[in-house]
């Protein structure tokens, strides 16, 4: 049950970050992705690229 909840939360987080690309206040700043337990290298690279565009 707990694993299922965590996985759905992660999927929701990934879905949100795809929907609002760089616009949500969470996900900006250095601690943005530490709240998500699973972060693939691709997600991290895309996130860094978005940060560079923002600044």
pTM reported for the whole predicted model: 0.26
Work out the end-to-end distance of the chain between its first and last CA atoms, rounded to an integer number of angstroms: 41
Cα 27 to Cα 1, 14, 35: the distances in Å are 27, 11, 9
Per-residue pLDDT reduced to its tens digit, 13-54 = 666 655 555 444 444 444 444 444 455 667 767 766 776 776
Handedness of CA 39, 41, 46, 48 (dihedral sign): positive
Residue 4: what pLDDT?
Answer: 80
Joined together, the tokens standing for residue 15 give 């879905």
Domain-wise residue ranges, the chain: 2-29+37-54
């Amino acid at each position: 049950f707990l694993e299922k909840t965590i996985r759905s939360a992660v999927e929701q987080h990934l879905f949100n970050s795809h929907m609002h690309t760089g616009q949500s206040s969470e996900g900006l700043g250095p601690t943005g992705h530490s709240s998500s337990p699973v972060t693939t290298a691709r997600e991290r690279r895309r996130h860094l690229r978005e940060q560079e565009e923002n600044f």
